[in-house]
Every structure is written in structure tokens, then in C-alpha cells.
Amino acid sequence: MYKYDQYDQAMVDTRVEEFRDQVRRRLEGHLPEEAFRPLRLMNGLYLQLHAYMLRVAVPYGTLNSAQMKVLGDIADKYDRGYGHFTTRQNIQYNWIKLEEAPDILADLARVEMHAFQTSGNCIRNTTSDQYAGAAADEVVDPRPYAELIRQWSTVHPEFNFLPRKFKMAVIASDTDRAAMRLHDIGIQIVKNEAGELGAAFYVGGGMGRTPMIAPCINAFVPIGQMITYSEACLRVYNRHGRRDNKYKARIKILIHELGKDEYTRQVEAEFAHLLTQNIEPPAEELERIKAFFADPPFETGITDELDRSDAAFARWADTNCLAHKQPGYIAVTISLKPVGGIPGDASADQIRLMGELARQYSFDELRVTHAQNIVLPHVRKADLYALWQILDANGLGTPNLDHIGDMIACPGLDYCSLANARSIPVAQKISERLAPREAEIGELKLKISGCINACGHHHAGHIGILGVDRKGVENYQLLLGGCEGADTSLGQITGPGFDEDGIVGAVEKATEVYLANKQGEERFLDTYRRIGMAPFKEALYG
Amino acid sequence: MAEVQYRFRDDEPVADPGVTVDSFGAQSNAAAVRLEPGDDARALLPHLERLRLVEVNFPVFGDGRGYSSARILREAGYAGELRAVGQVLVDQIALMRRCGFDSFAPDQPLEPADAEAAFARWADVYQPTTDGRAPVWAKRHPGAVNA
Amino acid sequence: MKILTGNDLKTGAVTWWDGVQWSLHVEDAVDVGDHADTILAREEAARRVNSAYAIDAVKDETGVRPAHIKDRIRALGPTVRPDLTLKPADPEAGNWVI
């Protein structure tokens, strides 16, 4: 994975000292909250329901064991012994003191980590495919391109005060595992007929109160112009995005109002101009970065078979592991969704343990997934049973990847000052109710948001749940038919909402309608797409 | 009008206040103009040779359009004074400097020690702008040019 | 009654105005009547509190109860982690929120 040089290290060290100075001025009364707020947000520090919350960036979701150790140690030293992995591949801590935040950033900087721009109206952490470098279907490893974007977007002088936040994702396979088209800019690295690499730009996607699927505005930007094209997209947005209404300030609204063609025309004009400015890093820089993402020293001639004699192990291996491009290896997803647990939470001990297991079994590499799980990308099949035994003994062996218990849930009203309803208790009840039937129900992606901002991706769930405030009482709307990935679709609301127990029953009914109508190998989503909303409505409200 | 607190150029300052973009087009002798966030900086490009001062107003510090206005003018070759006015705060001046601002007239004067620290803070930068500073990638690859 | 709540500037802890200073316990909150704005301006300026605001609450047999569920969760702690709330030994504490 990527290693900092003296320049990258100086950037994070400088940021720590800058923020330390800003915190000092805030505490001494020289910096009012109004001016301090965007600065702390751009260093990942929110003021949430119970305390400050710190969101640490995990660039394109890639981590090593030394970093996991520090993430676990931060949870113990500055927080309350746990962290929460997020849908943008980051980790956040819920009980942070402002006066200690600069020290935490300093601890992170020592292991080449930071909280740059994990909040604020700026370019956020760039996400990617959690199986990058392991997946058989990728054109190239997308992470060097994401690293190029990380550096370009870090303290970009023009784009720190955009109309609104700006999220980018980079993938390099047709199977989209990063919800690429639900980002402000989604980039797919592609190869043309001449064998040259380019970047397909999908701009203006997003969830929130106005969900939109990003249209492709340029199917092939030569790879040596990707940064320049990104800058053009951002400049048009910075100049013309709406600033009169924060709910209409995302780039998706600009593109919707201008029309895709007019936005594209403006971007192309700006791009033509910026090409004269020589702002693109040279090919040598991309090559330098790529070298860090070379394959680890895979062994050859090792066994490609699994000993499946332990049924519990076989079930976990079938559910949570993905075929690897290298014979003899497998990519392992560690579910952070134990039955009845808090989705995405991990204790300090679990965080350090997963790091240690990565060191032992996965060439010192881990990934955070947008579905709030952890991946060990390169595990020898011969080691899989031993690895599973350790995971299982530590509450990390839940066999539910992409099943109903593997739901995404935002922190909701238990932690978040924006939320209208609690998400986690609903997640826990559904998990407990339906986990016993997971094998029967099969693939089903459930996503729960505690408010319309959609951090829990409810629009993209096969089943989505949106928590709302109905006259001071928590109420939950049900959505069906959403999907991220190559066949992205947005879920439709079934009808009137439910109370907390009612929504659990409604989800169960929806799964029963599916099981009663399922044909052949259909997944829940396939059946829904075939039979439509009516049978579900009938069962829910009839 | 707020005093110019920092000025990074040696020529004689323009005494006149900037006129609005609309009246600038009509007044063929005006040498100073004031850009509001919603103004199109590119409207000034036909007149760069007679322009000696552009004031870019930040009515609120969170409106970042002025950063793009500044870069557009510098990228087009504007060499006159580019002045940030309005709610210009100490934690944004280094970014403004990178975008081409070379004078600062904040509504509220900046604390000198904080401002000097802010101007000097970032020894390295990841992006090239027209400020002439070598980005990190240029330091890593001396002599490399983008094809 | 009108009560005031905010977060401690340095630690972020949820606090409630008790008439003299900021308390960690909602049951200490006092009715500020028409004086909310004056107290908030003074306390924010003195940096004893951050992002404070006035809310409606009622006084009943259990003490002071904020009108909105969000502030009741702030008063107790996360309902899904009773061990991290202000009443870790009280298994019924979560019911007060709802």
C-alpha cells in the first residue's frame, strides 16, 4: 500500500500544528464558533448529540496493522473503547474532547493517517472498491488513481468552500462495489479498444433528500488528464452551484437544473482552458504511486482447496469470502454485524485483533467496506480455517455478508444531532428476528437511515428504511427495490410509515412475500422487479 | 472602506475604489473593479490591459466563489493587484494567496502574529496554481513534464 | 418550562443550566422564563458552553423531562449502549427516553 514520503508526512504534520493553533485560539476566545466550525469540520470534528465526534479518513478504505493498532489505541486512550466504521470507508469516534483532538491527529500522523476533509463543504475522502487488487474482474487496481485524487484534493486552495460537501469514488471494474453512481463524481477506470486507460466520469449522483443516479458526462477522459478534468468539474460547480438553499446546493441539483448537456458543455470548455495550465501530475507521479500497489509476493503452487468438513466454517466461507484473482488465495469479509449488534461498531480489542490478523494472514492489508465491514483481501486458502476460528472466538465470525443481518445503519438518533429517529434499535430487532432465516432468504441488502440525509443509504437498499419524526414520535417508512452497483435503482416508498415494532414486522412480511413468489434462483430484488410493488402493498396494508 | 492590511507588491496602489462590473464595462477609463461572488470574472478578460486593481468581495467567508474568480483572472494573465475584501479571516488567507490574491483588506483587521504564521505555514503544496510554487509532484520528479 | 442545554466547550459533554452553572444532569435544569437569550449570549461569550439552545420541558415526578426525544437521549446517553449512559446501573433508564 501507499507509503508517505517526506512531503506527505510534512502535509499531515503541518495540518496537526495548524489545527492545534486553531483549537488554542478557539479555547482562548480569539476564534468564534462561527469561524471555527468549518475548520474543525474540515478536520473531521463534529459536535454531536453527546460529545464531539472525530471522523478519521481511511483513504480508499485501505489500512495496515500498525494503523489498526493506533485506531484501537485511540479508542481506548481518548474515547470509550470502541469505534464505528462508516459507509464512506472511514472510522469515527463518538466521545472526543475538543482539547484532545489535536493530540489524536498527532497520533494518527505518526502512522500516516489524518482526518483531512472528512467533513465540511469540500472534497471528502475518496472511496473505492474494497476488493481492489484482489478482484478478478478489475481492469487495473483503482487505488493509485484514488491516491492521485487524494493528493490533488488535499487542501485544494480553490475548493475548501464549495456550495456543499463533495464525494468522489473510483472503481475499475464493471461490477460496482462502491456505489459509484451515487457520488458527486464517480470515476470508472476503463480501457479503450486501443488498450489505453481512461476515466469515465459520472457526475451528479447522490442520496439525501433528492436521490439521483449520476449520468455519464464523459465516457473516456485520457488517464493523463483525469485530474484536470476533475478540476474542471469542480470549478463549474464552485462557481455555479446553488448557495441560496443548502438543500439544493449539491452538484446533482446544479446538473438537474442546468441539464446534463449544458453542464457537460461548461465542463468541457473549462477543461480545454485548464489543459493550458499544466496542472496535471506527470505520468512519472502515477507510476511512482502505482509501485506501492504492486501485488504482494503471492505464493504459487499452493492448494486451492478448502477443507469443508466443519459445517459452520463452510457456511461462513461460502457466505463471507470472495474468489481471488490469484489461485490459492481468497478475499475475506469480516462482518461487523453480529446478530443483535450495532452495525459497524468494533471494540478497541477487535480493531487491534483484525490488524494483527491482517499482518499474519493478509500481507498486512485490510480494507473498510462501504457496507461497514472489514476485508482481509489476500488470505491463503490453506490458512482460512485457522483464521476463521480466531474470528469466531472474538465475535467476528458472523456468516451474513449481503444477507439481511448485514445491514447498513447510520448512527441515528442515538448519536447524531441531525437524526429524526433511532436506526440502531431497529437494526438490532430486525437482525434478531430474521437472522435465523437468513439462509432461506438469501441475498438481501437492508439499509437504514435515521433521517432524510440518507447516510444509511436507504434509497439503495433492496429494502430501505427511513426514520422520520412524526409529531415528536419516531416513525419509519419502508422502501423497496433500491440497488447500488451496475444496475443502480432507487427504492420506492411502500406507503404509510410504521412504529418501531411495526417496521420490524413489515420487513418480515416483505421477506415472506418474496419467499412466496420467488422463482428459481431469484434474489429478493429480482422478485420485486418482476412482480412489482402491488403484492407487497397488499401484504403490508391490505 | 477597510484598510489594506497586507500587500505583496511594490507598485503604487490604485487610489480609486473598484466600480461594479456593470459600470466597469461602460466606463472606459476605470482601472479598478469590484467583483461580487455572483459576478463572472471572465467578463473582465477583454479589459485586462487597463485593469490595475480587482477587489474580490467575500461578504461571508463561507462563500468560496471568489477563489475561482481569482484563479480565472490570474490564469488569463492578469498581473495587477488582486485584493480580497470583506469577511477575510486569518484561516483562509493562505488559500487566497495560493489562488492569486496579493493584497488583503479585511473588514476586521487580522492579528498580525496569526496572519504571519498563516502565510508561512504550508511549506509544501499538492497543487500547482499561478502562484509559481512547485507542487509536491514537481519536487518528486524534477524535470518531468506532463505529456 | 424553558430550560437551557448545550455542550461543554472543552469536553463536549452535554450540560444543562442550573441557574448558576452548567450541570451534567438534566434534573438540575431550572426554568429560565424569558431570560434564555441573555443567559445564552453571556455563557457562550464566556466560553463556558458551546452551541447552547433553549428547549421546552416539563417537571414531573421523575424530575425534568425535555419535551423532545432528541433532548431526552442527550440527557441520558445512547439508548443502545446503556453502559455508556449516565445511569448504567438502571436497566429501565431507556424507557424514560421513549
For chain A, residues with pLDDT lower than 70 are none
How do strand B81-86 and strand B103-106 relate by DSSP bridges? parallel
- Cβ-defined contact of A160 to B64 (cutoff 8 Å): yes
User: What value does the mean pLDDT of chain C take?
Assistant: 96
pLDDT tier at B26 (50, 70, 90 boundaries)? confident
Query: In chain B, what percentage of residues exceed pLDDT 70?
Result: 97
Q: Where are the beta strands (DSSP E) in A369-518?
A: 374-380, 408-409, 446-449, 463-470, 473-480, 492-493
In this complex, whether A and C touch, counting 3 or more CB pairs under 8 angstroms, is yes
pLDDT of residue C11: 97
Q: Which residue on chain C is closest to A99 by alpha carbon?
A: C10
DSSP A154: T
pLDDT of residue A322: 95
- Cβ-defined contact of A152 to B63 (cutoff 8 Å): no
Give me the DSSP letters along B102-146.
-EEEESSPPPHHHHHHHHH--S--SS--TT-PPPHHHHHSTT---
Helices (H) and strands (E) in chain A, counts: 17, 20
- Cβ-defined contact of B147 to A157 (cutoff 8 Å): no
Distance (Å, whole) CA A461 – CA A439: 19
Predicted TM-score (pTM) of the model is 0.97
pLDDT tier at B147 (50, 70, 90 boundaries)? very low
Q: HSE-up of A502 (CA within 13 Å, CB side)? A: 12
Q: State residue A203 phi and psi, 5-degree precision.
A: -125, 140
Tallying the residues shown for chain A, one arrives at 542
Chain B positions with Cβ closer than 8 Å to A: 37, 61-65, 67-68, 71, 75, 89, 91-92, 94-96, 98-99, 111, 114, 117, 121-130, 135-137, 139-141, 144-147
Q: Which residue on chain A is closest to C86 by alpha carbon?
A: A50
Closest CA to A444 of A400, A476, A509, A398: A400
pLDDT tier at B16 (50, 70, 90 boundaries)? confident
Residue type, A311: A
- Cβ-defined contact of A50 to C74 (cutoff 8 Å): yes
Q: Is the dihedral of CA A236, A240, A244, A248 positive or negative?
A: negative
pLDDT of residue A392: 98
pLDDT of residue A31: 97
What cell was used for A70? 493506533
Count the helix, strand and coil residues of chain A and give each as a percent rounded to the nearest 5: 40, 20, 40
Q: Which residue on chain B is closest to A274 by alpha carbon?
A: B75
Q: HSE-up of A392 (CA within 13 Å, CB side)? A: 16
pLDDT tens profile A175-201: 999 999 999 999 999 999 999 999 999
Cα distances (Å, whole numbers) of residue A277 to A286, A377, B74: 19, 39, 11
- Reported ipTM: the value is 0.97
Option in A8, A35, A281 nearest B89 (CB):
A35
Neighbours of chain B (3+ CB pairs under 8 A): A
pLDDT tens profile C49-60: 999 999 999 998
pLDDT higher than 70, residue B146: no
Nearest-CA distance from A256 to chain B in Å? Answer: 20
Q: Is C42 on the interface with A (CB under 8 A)?
A: no
pLDDT of residue B1: 65
Closest CA to A179 of A228, A142, A135, A213: A213
Q: Is C87 on the interface with A (CB under 8 A)?
A: no
pLDDT tier at C61 (50, 70, 90 boundaries)? confident
Nearest-CA distance from A24 to chain C in Å? Answer: 11
Among A24, A27, A33, A52, which would you mutate to test the C interface (most chain C Cβ atoms within 10 Å of its Cβ)?
A: A52
Chain A positions with Cβ closer than 8 Å to C: 26-27, 29, 33, 47, 49-52, 80, 94-99, 342, 413-415, 417, 419, 422, 424-425, 428, 472-474
The residues that bridge with C56 in the sheet, in sequence order, are C2
Nearest-CA distance from B94 to chain A in Å? Answer: 8
